Amino acid sequence: MAYATFRSVSRRLHRVPQTLTLSLSGATETSLWTNLTKAGGLFSHHMASTGGKTICSRCASTLTGLSKATRLSSISRIAQHGGRTFCVVRIGSRQIFRLYSTKGGSDVAAKAVGKGVKKTAKTSQLPEFRRLLSLAKDEKWRLAGAITLLFVSSTVTLAVPFGIGRVIDIIYTPEEQEAMVPRLKTFCKVLLGVFIVGAIANFGRVYLMQISGNRIVKKMREKLFGSIIKQDIAFFDKTKTGELINRLSTDTSLVGQSVTMNISDGLRSVTQALGGISMMVYMSPKLAMIALSIVPPIALVSRYYGRYVQKITRAVQDSLAASTQVAEERLSNMRTVRAFVQEEREQNAYNQQIDQVLKLSYKEALARGIFWGTTGLSGNIVVLSVFYYGGLMMSESVITVGEMSSFLMYAAFVGVSIGGLSTFYTELMRGLGASTRVWQLIDSQPSIPLTDGIIPDMPMKGNIEFRDLHFSYPQRPDTHIFNGLSLAVPQGSVTAIVGSSGSGKSTLAALLLRYYDPNSGEVCVDGTSTRALSPSWLRSNMGLVNQEPTLFSCSIADNIKYGALKPELVTEEEVKHAAQMANAYNFIQYFPEGFNTLVGERGVMLSGRGNNIREQGVMLSEPKDSSFR
């Protein structure tokens, strides 16, 4: 495509605020998904590539194929996702990315030309915060009880300085010396009862918040894992396992903590700060003004500090995900590492990732140190000022010793509460930083949904045909695996695909199971294109044994049952029959626990007999077609 045409498309996109669809002449029904990428680091977008052009698959529920003539025309889509609007157009190595706002469609991001997009737009944190709070919807009654108990415990806490001040005045008031002991006893008993009520309220608050937090994290992990497990194979080709594990474990914990205990602590700090300020003003408005002079500058500093911490947290989480990926990959392939004597090399690789985390932690530590050092010094100066002016007021009998003591304790409470609010804001920003990545994964939609498509009324016969296949992997779009491949495999036949490494033998099986869709051409089963069939139905009627089969770390029997449509209904006799059919029954009997023998991680305890176990699983599924590779 000429560069002038590219510029023309760019200008048209810039003028259109909401949606744009350029007509596609000569379109034929086919799927174009061949690339998976991230748009600006904000949302995971599935990309469809035709020639050198790219279409965002999240911009339309259905896309059609293009004839050769149409492929030369400019193609683009703009779509809204989560309050933001995206469009990606790529011609050859040139790529333009624009982020449009939904209000007026102004271009709020930057145009990037090259291989990637470096700039993203600043977006409001309010929608993310609302979505964070929406996680607590199912726990509203527990959280309501916890918040009620929080107000009770905060009220008790605020009563303590006033009570202690009264005790001091009772002790140091000369005219009340005769009645001091009885009044002191009564007052201490009342305070003890108040303390007990506060302790019970604190117990209930922490317990309910902790339970709610754990339930929220559980639901979030279930939802996240459910989204991950439904993604396309192309998604797993691009996304590292360690990163996904980090999202499931660390990020979800941060999010759950933010929406429960962190918000609880924030509300507690707000309650105590407002109550303390009210009591300070009640006791001495002049001293209260002096003590509260520190609040505006600290609030301003906290705002910018929280944003910086959010940015650092995202970087730290990404680095942790990378280090987790390195550790997971190396530990799962320890036999290979040991065989090639690469222990030191892998240690260095992991150390480099951890060093990156440490460098980012240094930045966070420096920011925290500056913030807390500055706020601590400011607070101490204010306390010193309160002591000075309060002492002058006591010498003039404007306030009593007990009132001064109560005022200082309230001032301390307010200081601690303001510090707690700063911590609350910082931790909330950390939670928002972690939640961004979690939402990306949860919102990501597979281009090949598991249950879309038709389920034929007739059972599958098993006639397979590859028609004029053109295919390249999403991560290697310039490397063409097939260029016009055609092959027919009749029902009931045994066909061996022979070729050198990398010639596409395994790729044929992947296309047959519709792990990917071809760039052009068709894969047909019983005369029907696999694109029209339900992927789940298609795969449930096929059996697959990989060259290096993966077994789960459970018993031999459980691994055999895994191939059945309903493993829980498989009987012991059916398991034994499948083992006999795969010529594995005898060697399984040699194990002390027989079919209940644990195979270890990835079947390491079976010493090369994993293929037999997976073959038995295939037999239990009774497939119409089987693939061994």
Q: What is the CATH number of the domain that holds 552?
A: 3.40.50.300
- Of 123, 158, 183, which one is at a domain's C-terminal end? 123
Q: For the range 215-221, what are the long-range contacts, defined as Cβ-Cβ under 8 Å and sequence gap of 24 or more? A: 215/138, 215/139, 216/135, 216/136, 216/139, 216/255, 216/256, 216/259, 216/260, 217/252, 217/253, 217/255, 217/256, 219/135, 219/138, 220/135, 220/252, 220/255, 220/256, 220/438, 221/248, 221/252
For the chain, the C-alpha Rg in angstroms (whole number) is 33
The alpha carbon of residue 493 and the mean position of all alpha carbons in its chain are separated, in whole angstroms, by 46
* CA distances (Å), origin 409, targets 246, 313, 406, 528: 43, 35, 5, 79
Same domain for 363 and 250, yes or no, is: yes
Q: Is the same domain home to 105 and 183?
A: no
Beta bridge partners of 522: 467
User: Quick one: 277 and 161 in the same domain?
Assistant: yes
Residue 293 carries which DSSP code? G
Name the residue range of residue 562's domain. Answer: 544-629
Mark whether 312 and 334 lie in a shared domain. yes
Same domain, 437 and 586: no
Judge if 433 and 474 occupy the same domain.
no
Distance CA 417, CA 424 (A): 10
Shared-domain flag, residues 438 and 461:
no
Residue 380 burial class via C-beta count within 10 angstroms: exposed 0-12, middle 13-18, buried 19 and up: exposed
Please list the alpha-helical segments (H only) found in 68-139: 68-71, 126-134
409 shares its domain with 374 = yes
Total structural domains within the chain: 4
What pLDDT shows up at residue 32?
A: 28
Region for residue 80 given its phi and psi (left: phi exceeds 0; alpha: psi -120 to 50; beta: otherwise)? beta
Contacts (Cβ under 8 Å, ≥6 apart) of 500: none
| pLDDT single digits (tens) 270-328 | 888 888 888 888 888 888 888 777 777 777 777 777 777 777 777 877 787 778 777 87
Helix/strand/coil for 26: coil
Pairing status of strand 79-81 against strand 84-91? antiparallel
Which string of DSSP letters, residue by residue, matches 382-398? HHHHHHHHHHHHHHTTS
Q: Is the CB of residue 466 less than 8 Å from the CB of residue 486? A: yes
> Where does a domain end: 59, 88, 123?
123
pLDDT of residue 384: 80
What's residue 622's pLDDT?
52
3-class SS letters over 472-520:
CCCCCCCCCCEEEEEEEECCCCCCCCCCCCCCCHHHHHHHHCCCCCCCE
Residue 133 backbone phi and psi in degrees, to 5: -70, -30
What CATH code is carried by the domain that includes residue 194?
Answer: 1.20.1560.10
Tokens of 617: 């699983």
Residue 153 and residue 42 share a domain: no
Given a contact cutoff of 8 angstroms between Cβ atoms, the answer to whether 230 and 450 are in contact is: yes
Neighbours of 592 (CB within 10 A): 6
Give me the residues paired with residue 246 across strands: none
**Residue 582 confidence (pLDDT):** 67
DSSP 398-460: SS-HHHHHHHHHHHHHHHHHHHHHHHHHHHHHHHHHHHHHHHHHHH---SS-SS-SB--SSPP
How high is the pLDDT of residue 552? 65
Q: Are residues 153 and 73 in the same domain?
A: no
Q: Which residue has the tokens 């010793």?
A: 401
Determine what percent of the chain falls in helix, strand and coil, rounding each to the nearest 5: 60, 10, 30
438 and 255 Cβ atoms separated by less than 8 Å? yes
Measured CA to CA, the distance from residue 271 to residue 303 in angstroms comes to 20
Helix (H), strand (E) at residue 589: helix 585-589
Residue 242's nearest CA partner among 347, 323, 355, 350 is 323
Query: For the chain, which ranges sit under pLDDT 70?
Result: 1-126, 173-179, 332, 335, 338, 379, 545-553, 562-565, 582, 590, 599-629
Q: Tell me: do 529 and 554 sit in the same domain.
A: no
pLDDT at residue number 601: 58
108-115: Cβ within 8 A, 24+ apart: 109/40, 111/10
Domain boundary among 123, 155, 180: 123
Give pLDDT, residue 27. 30
Structure tokens at 57: 């698959």
Q: Are residues 455 and 436 in the same domain?
A: no
Q: For the whole model, what pTM was predicted?
A: 0.55
Query: Encoding tokens for residue 157?
Result: 């806490």
